[in-house]
Structure 1
Amino acid sequence: MDSVGLDVNRLRVLGAIARRGSMTGAAADLQYTPSAISQQVRRLEAEVGQPVLERHTRGVRLTDAGRAIVRHLASIDNQLAALQSELDDIAGLRAGSLRLGTFPTVAASLLPVAVNRFHQEHPGVDLKVVSARLEQLMEHLERRRVEMTLLWDYPWSRIEVPELELIELLQDPTEVVVSATHHLAGRGEVRMAELAHESWVTRGGAHPVAEVLSWTALRAGFEPTVAFEANDYQEAQAMVAVGLGVALAPRLALANLRDDVTVLSLGDEAPRRRILLAALKGRSPTPAERAMAQVLRDVGAEAAADLGSARAARDGGSATPPS
C-alpha cells in the first residue's frame, strides 16, 4: 500500500459509516446514494490493500484496518484544517515570508518608505532584506536566496538576462555635487562641458559612478582629473565640501545631503539609471511578492514625481546657463 495514494474524502466516508453504524446512515449524512457509498468503500479498500468493513446481515462492522483509519481520521482532519488556515493566512498576507534584495543607495532612500508601508499593511509577513552589489544580487536571485531584488542599469549597460522579469520603478538622474562656496553653487543647472577644468571626487574600487563620470565627461569632450576616490557617498560629499573637487552622484544617493554642499542638475545631459524590480521568469509570485511589488511601484512613482517637481522648481527659480 502507498499511503500517499489514500483519498481523504474516502477516509471521511468510512468515518461517517462508523459514526452512523451503517452505509445508509452515512449516505444520508453525506448526501450520497447508498450505492455511491458502497463504491467509495470498495475504492478505499483497493487503496488500503485490505478490507475496512465486514458486511453481515445486520449491517457492517469495522475491521482492524477500518478502526485504525477512523482512529487517525480526527487527527488528519485537524491537521488539514490547520494547513488550510495557514494557507488562508498566507493568501491573505496574515502570514508568510519574503526575502528581498536591494543595494545601498536605494536602501538609504526609497526602501525604508516601502518597508514601513509594507509592514503597516501586512504585519504578519516575515520580511528579510539583503543589501549587496549588483553581481551579488543577481547571484542571490539565481540561487533563490531572495525571491525578488532591486537592481539598476544605465543606457550603455542594460541588464539583458532572458531569465529575469524586470519592472522599471523609476529613472534616477545623475547630478553634480559642489561645495556651498563653489562659484557655480548658485546655479540650478550646469552643462558638463563647464566642468572640464574641475578636479573630481569619485568612488573607488571600480564603482559604477566612476564609469558614469568617464562616460559623461567623454561625451562633453574632456578627460576628468580625479583628485580623490571615496569609499562611500558621504565621504565623497565631505571631500566636495572642503573644495577638493566636484562629484557626480545619482539623485537617490543624495538622500542625506550635507548642509555645506549643493546639487546642480545636468538637465537633459544627465545619465539616468533605471531602478528595477527583478524576479525569475516562469514562477508564480506569492501573495507577499505581489504585494511588495505593488508597494514598490507606488513608492517609485511617488519618488519620480518628487524628482520631477524638484527639477521644475529648480528650473523655475534659477538663471538659465549661458549659451
Structure 2
Amino acid sequence: MSGRNGWSTVFEVDALRLLVTVAETGSFTAAAARLSYTQSAVSRRIATLEQRAGGALFERLPRGVRLTPAGRALHRHAVEVLDRLSRAGHELAVLHAGQGGLLHVGAFATANISLLPTALRALEDARPQVEVVAVEGPTDALLRRLVDATLDIAVVSDYPSGLPSADGVTTTVLCEDELLVVLPRAHRLAGATTLDLRELRDEAWLQSAYGDRPTMLDDACARAGFTPRKIIRIAEWAGKFGYAAAGLGVALVPSLAAPAVPDSLVLRRLSDPALCRTVQVALPATPLPAALELRARLHDAVPHR
C-alpha cells in the first residue's frame, strides 16, 4: 500500500501482531489482556487497520469475534511476516554474539592452502552455526572489499609492494612468510641447506606476474647482480609445481605453500633476508565477534618453524 493509505513500519508490525493476537484469543478483551492494552485501544486499532485494509477483518459476534474472509487472508500474511521478523531478530542476535550467521572471509591464494582452512576448521568446531562464505583474491582487492563491507575479515600480505591504505581497516601481524626456492629432487643443488641466488642464475624461473612492475624475484635477482635468463609465466601453483618437477624451471614459493609441495620437489632456503613477506589479518572498524574469533584461530594456526 502507498500514498495516504501507506503504513509506517512500526505501526504495520504492531497492527499485524494485534490482528494475530485477536484471532488467536477470539476477543478484543482477551487480546487486550495479553498485550497489556485497554479494550478500547484494541477496538480503535483494529478499526484503523480495517479502514486501511479496505473492509472488515472481524465479524463482531455476541461473544467474541472471528475473522472474515479478508481477515483470514491478511492473517495468513501476518503470521508469515511476524515469523520472518522473529527469525531475523534471532539471526541478528546470534550474529552479533558471534554464535552464528554469515561470515564473509577473504584470503590470498597460499593462505588458502593450510593456514586459513586450519583456522576455519577450528572455528567450525567451536561455532558450528557460523556459516562461512570464502573468497580468494589479491591483497588490494580484499582490502577494497573490506572497505565496501562485502568482507568481514581477510588474510592479506605486504607482498609485493606493501599494504595499500584502506579507510577504517585495521591489521594485525600473523607471521613472517619466508620465500623459498623449489627444486626437483634430482637438481644439482637439491642437497644444499641454504642457497645463494647467484647459484641459480642460469635457471629458468616460473612465476605468474605480468606487467612492468618489478616483482620480488626481479628485486632479488637485481640484488644478486643478474637478470633471470628466462621467465615462464604459469598462473597456478599446481602448474608451477608440475613444470618444476619436470625440470623446466625453478620458482620462489612462500613457506605457507609448503604443505602443497609434492614429494618430487624440495624446498630450500635462500641467503637473501629480504625474501620474506608479512602476513596479516585485516578487519573493518567494527568487526563481528565471529571475525574476532577467527582472527584468534588464525594466530593459533600459524605454523611453528
1:214 is aligned to: 218
CA distance in structure 1 between the aligned counterparts of 2:141 and 2:161, rounded to whole angstroms: 20
Offset at residue 153 of structure 1 (A) = 1.9
Could you tell me which amino acid in structure 1 is paired with residue 218 of structure 2? S
CA distance in structure 2 between the aligned counterparts of 1:190 and 1:209, rounded to whole angstroms: 26
2:297 is aligned to: 298
Structure 2: gaps of 5 or more residues:
none
1:316 is aligned to: none
Could you tell me which amino acid in structure 1 is paired with residue 301 of structure 2? E
Distance 1:29 1:292, change over 3 A: closer
TM-score, normalised to structure 1, is 0.64
Residues 183 and 267 in structure 2, CA contact (< 8 A), matched pair in contact too: yes
Q: Is 1:129–2:134 an aligned residue pair? A: yes
CA distance in structure 2 between the aligned counterparts of 1:120 and 1:167, rounded to whole angstroms: 24
Residues 206 and 251 in structure 2, CA contact (< 8 A), matched pair in contact too: yes
Look up the SS of the partner of 2:215 in the other structure: helix
Look up the SS of the partner of 2:194 in the other structure: coil
Offset at residue 182 of structure 1 (A) = 4.8
Distance 1:228 1:9, change over 3 A: closer
Distance 1:186 1:63, change over 3 A: closer
Look up the SS of the partner of 1:88 in the other structure: helix
1:269 to 259, 270, 273: 273
Offset at residue 146 of structure 1 (A) = 5.1
TM-score, normalised to structure 2, is 0.67
Deviations 1:59-107 (A, max 9, x none): 998799x996687457524542343235425644787444443333223
1:247 to 233, 241, 251: 251
Residues 183 and 190 in structure 2, CA contact (< 8 A), matched pair in contact too: yes
Look up the SS of the partner of 1:206 in the other structure: coil
1:224 to 222, 227, 236: 227
Deviations 1:211-242 (A, max 9, x none): 11222333x44133333424044444455556
Offset at residue 3 of structure 1 (A) = 2.2
1:162 is aligned to: 167
Residues 105 and 135 in structure 2, CA contact (< 8 A), matched pair in contact too: yes
Deviations 1:95-131 (A, max 9, x none): 7444443333223333433444455555566544333
Residues 227 and 244 in structure 1, CA contact (< 8 A), matched pair in contact too: no
1:106 to 98, 106, 111: 111
2:40 to 35, 38, 41: 38
Look up the SS of the partner of 2:85 in the other structure: helix
Residues 103 and 290 in structure 2, CA contact (< 8 A), matched pair in contact too: no
Look up the SS of the partner of 1:255 in the other structure: helix
2:182 is aligned to: 177
Offset at residue 169 of structure 1 (A) = 3.5
Q: How many residues align?
A: 292
Give the alignment's Cα RMSD to 1 decimal.
Answer: 4.8
Distance 1:134 1:156, change over 3 A: closer
Structure 1: gaps of 5 or more residues:
54-58, 310-323
1:83 is aligned to: 85
